[in-house]
C-alpha cells in the first residue's frame, strides 16, 4: 500500500485517492492477503526515518504481516520497528548509502 498522509497513492504516486490506507488494508485482509508492504511515499528514499505510527496503524487495522517501507535511515529505525512489533522493513537507500550495517540489522532482528 502506497500512501500519502494516510491516503492511498495511485498512478505512480502522482495522484492521491479518496481511500484511506487503513480501509484498503482491511479490504486486502478480507480477500485473504497475508502480508503487505506499507510505503509512506513522502519518506521513500529520503532517509528521514520510518513512519512507525503509520505502519503500526496499517498493521492494527488489517491484522496482516506488515513490512515498513520509506525513510529508513539507520539502526534507530530498525529498533523502533522491532519495539512497535512491525514484522519487517525494506532497507533500500540506507544500505546503499552505508548508514545501515546490514549484518547488525539482521543480528538485532533475529534476536527478537
Contact criterion met (CB below 8 Å) for 67 and 38 = yes
* pTM value > 0.85: yes
The domain spans of the chain are 2-111
Distance CA 30, CA 47 (A): 33
Note down pLDDT in tens along the chain; length 112 residues.
999 999 999 987 678 999 999 999 999 999 999 999 999 998 876 788 899 999 999 999 999 999 999 999 999 999 999 999 999 999 988 999 999 999 999 999 888 7
Q: What is the pLDDT of residues 81-104, one digit of tens each?
A: 999 999 999 998 899 999 999 999
Give the number of other CB atoms < 10 A from CB of residue 92.
16
The pLDDT assigned to 112 comes to 78
Q: Topology of 2-111 in CATH?
A: TIM Barrel (3.20.20)
d(C-alpha 28, C-alpha 35), whole Å: 9
Amino acid at each position: 500500500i502506497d500512501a500519502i498522509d494516510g491516503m492511498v497513492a495511485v498512478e505512480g504516486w502522482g495522484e492521491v485517492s479518496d481511500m484511506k490506507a487503513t480501509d484498503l488494508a482491511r479490504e486486502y485482509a478480507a480477500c485473504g492477503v497475508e502480508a503487505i508492504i506499507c510505503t509512506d511515499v513522502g519518506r521513500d528514499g529520503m532517509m528521514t526515518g520510518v513512519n512507525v505510527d503509520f505502519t503500526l496503524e496499517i498493521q492494527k487495522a488489517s491484522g496482516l504481516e506488515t513490512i515498513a517501507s520509506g525513510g529508513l535511515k539507520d539502526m534507530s529505525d530498525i529498533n523502533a520497528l522491532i519495539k512497535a512489533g512491525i514484522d519487517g522493513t525494506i532497507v533500500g537507500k540506507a544500505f546503499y548509502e552505508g548508514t545501515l550495517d546490514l549484518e547488525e540489522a539482521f543480528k538485532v532482528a533475529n534476536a527478537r
